[in-house]
Amino acid sequence: RDNDDDDESDSDDLNFQKTLPSSSQKKTPPKKVFENKVKSEKVKSSPLTFSSKNYEYLFREPSESESDVSDFSHRDRWDSVDTEPAGPSKSVSPRRPGSSKFSKDIASSVSEKELDQLAHIRPLVFNYSTQTVMKGFLKMLQKKEEYDIIREFLELEQMAVPDDFKSGNELLNRDKNRYRDILPYDSTRVPLGKHKDYINASYIRIVNHDEEYFYIATQGPLPETIEDFWQMVMENNCNVIAMITREIEGGVIKCHSYWPITLKEPLELKQFRILLENFQITQYFIIRIFQIVKKSTGMSHCVKHLQFTKWPDHGTPVSADFFIKYVRYVRKSHITGPLIVHCSAGVGRTGVLICVDVVFCAIEKNYSFNILNIVTQMRKQRQGMIQTKEQYHFCYEIVVEVLQNLLTLS
């Protein structure tokens, strides 16, 4: 299966009756391996034992997460200036006059120093013995041949998956799919309203050591599915949306803008009014604060929208550092409901974020993690999660960088 996020689609026409594009695209050559370089429930804190069997790595106490930081383009305070739109990836960071008050966590800006601190993932237990175990693990990862990583990915490609795409293939739902070959399984699709209407979105639950991480993986909204998207946000009480694509990449529409582009004018939909309250531009992602108002009831809901803007048109980011900081800020921002993640098709980059988020949380809690197992769980719930061997390799690259930074700090 080809990569939905990194390459061009077969067609710019999104009307299925004419021909929906597939997620096919060109592949980028694999990188060298590592020569140089939700909600949580029922967390167990019992001691664990390190093991490398079947690539399952455990960080625990025996008996008893570098960056090329350039200027950070944000304002130190939310500003009251409203001179440019905050839509397609540009502008300053104003605050909407007369807007409702948010919690300190939601309304305040983020500094590069804070992001640096978030990137340094530190386990609960981090004594000499734990560090020794982690050094051994890091050395083993650095010696891991690219062939082994590709072999794991090919195992994923061969695994049996559900074949229940009835809802996505129904005639009235076909125009709601961005790509004809990326559909949600009926068993895990996100239903809308009392009639369980269709949206191309899947519930993803990853279990690691009795702790469950809960996500919604979805495609980038189309013009005709924007209303459905916000309905999904409201009905699932989600407070964070992680968007890992720009609206247009390589001249191809990857995701339609589904938010208001200025603080002065809300986006008026049939059921909802979306207001842009604040926004902030960082060097590699954009923070937008939205207030969603349901017109029939007046009920409002606040959402933090985090758009990563440094994923290249093809391949994977040259440096893992920006993406690590972004994922950590996404996790820090999460308060309630499943964490919504989308790129263009909602499988490639989306899968990378979910995978490394689970790994980061595991490292923090001295839990084992198995990248192959995490991706296997994802693929059983939405087809093609992590689409290419380059994306799968990038997950390993990220883990290596986090452990290198952690052990350097120690």
The phi and psi torsions of 83 (rounded to 5 degrees) equal -105, -20
Scanning the structure block, which residue is given the tokens 């919690």?
103
Distance from the Cα of residue 326 to its chain's centroid? 9
The residue count for the chain: 410
User: DSSP 3-state assignment of 339?
Assistant: strand
Say whether 355 is catalytic. Answer: no
Among candidates 341, 323, 402, which has minimal Cα distance to 213?
A: 341
Q: Which residues contact 228 (CB under 8 A, 6 or more apart)?
A: 176, 192, 197, 199, 221
Scanning the structure block, which residue is given the tokens 């209407």?
197
CA distance 72 to 75: 9
Among candidates 370, 343, 336, 244, which has minimal Cα distance to 38?
A: 336
Among candidates 284, 308, 290, 332, which has minimal Cα distance to 112?
A: 284
The one catalytic residue among 343, 355, 361, 395: 343
Among candidates 172, 182, 130, which has minimal Cα distance to 366?
A: 130
Q: Which residues contact 72 (CB under 8 A, 6 or more apart)?
A: 111, 112, 282, 283
> Would you say 364 and 154 are in contact if contact means Cβ atoms under 8 Å apart?
no
Among candidates 173, 169, 166, which has minimal Cα distance to 192?
A: 173
Q: Which residues are catalytic?
A: 343
